Structure 1
């Protein structure tokens, strides 16, 4: 019964979910995360139960009212609706053992089933799948027109243009934030992937938030750019498109199978400037990529911002959705905290490599499809307070360069108390968040880092042959022994290189 008692806490009339709709799922996830220690059941099961209860709430409310359950039983609305949900809708039924709350529902099982049948007939619902695919489903499918190829929206789609968001079925809406990106109802997915334009790579199904990193990185034609964690390739090909397919994009992917998916995606999109490196990004050193000016990092994360688009779930060539490697499914409080800690350590390591190993880099963008601050703002905080990174001149990008008209920014409270030349507000403004469903797609986080170009060129000129920074000599100290030692070391290294050549 703990599952139902835990769920009832969130759907009580005293909470914001009492009259919730399907668009509140991101707020629900956040609320559950805040009270993890107090839950006595698996938070993943609590979320699943609440999500489904909220989705069918209109039907369940009708059933409860017609059956007059609350008038005959001393049971709260919040407990009743989650128990009735499992009794009528869940394949497993009420999973709790025998007890007074379960008995209160079962005493009315015949009436409840009868009223449920009447409600479905009244609404013309033959099965619950039809209800999910109705106008209540506000999930969106995003289409990016691939400008590498001579692409445009095919006339065969026959969508009516609209400014309404989310777009009703049969209409299409241009996104105001991302050029060449369009939104349609998720129920049109099969229609989209059957078009010749999609099969030729002229149309790419890519979530809006997933387009944010490349837009914020903003590479120009002719630059050399790194995509540190590239598969399945949506962001990689987006970079190439922004660059006009002129320059270089070095795409790192450690996993061989995912690297193959990446290669297929690149080929289909016509992104000829992309070179795939099937190896660990942290093994890349400045000597290999001296001309790199920008780096995009989207490392493996918890994937907590990703949801299944109800009524349709497909995989086409591995590029339909944001793929994320997951390190386990245990979502209990202690296990989740440990998992997020391990992920944040890994994410910080990759980002530190990007921020410290490329002397000519002036902009680095970090992103995850996670809703957890531990993987988002907390990683940004660790990076900005790292002495080595701060010494190299890195700061959070200003809002004016990070999709300035987007409404949802980073959580400033996570940056309180930092030793930084920037205020918590300024750092938070350099981050963007997208909440799952309510913001029209998956949950996502992006943060931009930048430094002055003149500063980096000056630093690059001060590097010795070992890639170490030389800061000049102290006037109060005799510099001759230091100079002699440096010259001996350099000459020794040059002789060694000549012999090996």
Structure 2
């Protein structure tokens, strides 16, 4: 079967993977107190008992968090017949591994709620212990989707919903002062972010699922850390951009907004289910300049990527910078992830037309961050790291000092920066003028106003009509 194609079976006729089915059955037995986890798994004579036990151990340990996340989501309200035990197992797997194996109907349905579930989990929309209290918890970040509405229009609607901005003089406020404002944010008050002007900051756990702004895609629930890669990039309207690991689509829609929906953006996603989610979200958010493709980033045809100048790469990682991953990650897994991330980054830098590659992870481990950067830099001497300190005024945390280039990279520390743990490095070509002629020729051959999507099924370019 060719990549991107599907089986002839309809989703409703595809069975739920045996692993998930058996784990959900045992979860029900655990809740009914029919035995201990070990007894139910090892006494059940399951062939894949090791995988079942590993999956259930995490799902059971996070029982309270996952149940409250599911309860706060729209899943059971809109899908009342969804088996709650299966939903628990699938959500645990999705949040833990970042993906789900299989193409059955329950998996397809759950993936439609992926963005909501991830955001709820990340921001602790639960009643879990006071350790996630106001002063220590991450605030709720809301990015204004300027493809749909302006910042001013969103603020008017927020005022109508009872919200009031906490104003501050940016020229006379330090970053430390701003962090103090976040810690003392009260009631129905919000802030405009210190660095990213279309990002709003609300008290922790603020729900927006019923807000018309969220339902109309005028706002997007996106943590500040994940907004940084696009913010520190040099993309401009008319640019040719590739988002290598695009789903679920927050970063991709932010890219489209940053270039005013004018240019060529290719969003690649290997998983078919996540690709469908990506397509749906981009359509809802008005990102018409983006072409989403269900292909492996490393196997995209050269015709599709010709002329690409900017690449964003946020690959699968351990997610150790997010709140649901407090357990120790095996060294072997970190090694495997690092090797995978290196292969993707090497491929990104191999594009002859690329001038800038932004690499990011929601991991705090050096094996997935500085070690990856060091390995790749040694193999691509035509690139160097841009010093990102000047991009974020007052920023406190950078790459590890053990690495000579560490000061050029950005890190976020959750309890200080009030956002998820994150890492960002930006590779820039040392001599971009050597590829200028090639890029100009590529752009001339593919002018947005002349190219038609029907001319080439691999990509499309859409130019946003200017308002009279």
Normalising by structure 2, we get a TM-score of 0.60
Structure 2 counterparts to residues 288-437 of structure 1, below 5 A: 288-308=304-324, 336-356=330-350, 358-386=351-379, 389-390=380-381, 393-399=382-388, 402-403=391-392, 405-413=394-402, 415=403, 424=404, 427-437=405-415
In the TM superposition, structure 1's runs of 4+ consecutive aligned residues that sit over 6 Å from their partners are 458-461
Q: Give the drift of 1:276.
A: 0.5
1:107-147: per-residue Cα shift (whole Å, max 9, x none)?
xxxxxxxxxxxxxxxxxxxxx86856764553311000111
The equivalent residue for 2:30 is: none
The 2-side partners of 1:260 and 1:409 are apart by 36
2:434 corresponds to which of 455, 473, 495:
455
Structure 1's unaligned 5+ residue stretches are 1-43, 53-127, 309-328, 416-423, 462-501
Structure 2 CA distance for partners of 1:137 and 1:445, relative to 1, 3 Å: closer
Which structure: larger Rg? 1
Q: 1:196 aligns with which of 208, 212, 215?
A: 212
RMSD: 2.8
Q: Which of 218, 228, 236 matches 2:244?
A: 228
Task: Give a deviation string over 1:200-240, Cα, whole Å, max 9, x none.
Answer: 11000000010011112231101110000000110000000
Q: Does the CA contact (< 8 Å) of 2:317 and 2:363 recur in 1?
A: yes
Q: Please name the residue that 1:472 is paired with.
A: none
Aligned twin of 1:157: 161
The 1:330–1:411 alpha-carbon spacing in structure 2 relative to 1, beyond 3 Å, is closer
The match for 2:204 is 186
Kept in 1, the 8 Å contact 2:193–2:200? The answer is yes
CA distance in 2 between counterparts of 1:171 and 1:179 reads: 17
Q: Which residue does the alignment assign to 2:421?
A: 443
Per the TM alignment, residue 289 of structure 1 is displaced from its structure 2 partner at its CA by 1.9
Deviation for aligned residue 1:400: 5.7
Cross-structure match for 1:125: none
CA distance in 2, matches of 1:255, 1:146: 25
Q: Secondary structure at the match of 1:179?
A: coil
Q: Structure 1 CA distance, aligned partners of 2:390 and 2:263?
A: 22
Residues 150 and 202 in structure 1, CA contact (< 8 A), matched pair in contact too: yes
Residues 8-27 of structure 1 correspond to what in structure 2 (within 5 A)?
Answer: none
Query: Given the superposition, is the C-alpha separation of residues 187 and 447 from structure 1 closer, same or farther in structure 2, using an over 3 Å criterion?
Result: same
DSSP 3-state at the match of 2:140: strand
CA offset at residue 336 of structure 1?
A: 1.2
Between Structure 1 and Structure 2, how many residues are aligned? 300
Cα distance change of structure 1 residues 141 and 244 upon mapping to structure 2, 3 Å threshold:
same
| 2:295 counterpart residue number | 279
Q: Distance in 2 between matches of 1:292 and 1:364?
A: 10
Of 221, 225, 235, 1:205 maps to: 221
- Structure 1 length-normalised TM: 0.56
Is the CA contact 2:358–2:426 (under 8 Å) kept in the aligned structure 1? yes
Alpha carbons of 1:378 and 1:237: their partners in 2 closer, same or farther (altered >3 Å)? Answer: same
Q: 1:137 to 1:384 in 2, by over 3 A?
A: closer
Q: Quick check: 2:138–2:418 contact (8 Å CA) kept in 1?
A: yes
Inter-CA distance 331–130: structure 2 relative to 1 (3 Å threshold): closer
Q: CA deviation at 1:159?
A: 2.1
Contact 2:138 2:420 in 1 (8 A): no
Give 5+ residue unaligned stretches, structure 2.
1-56, 66-126, 169-180, 441-468
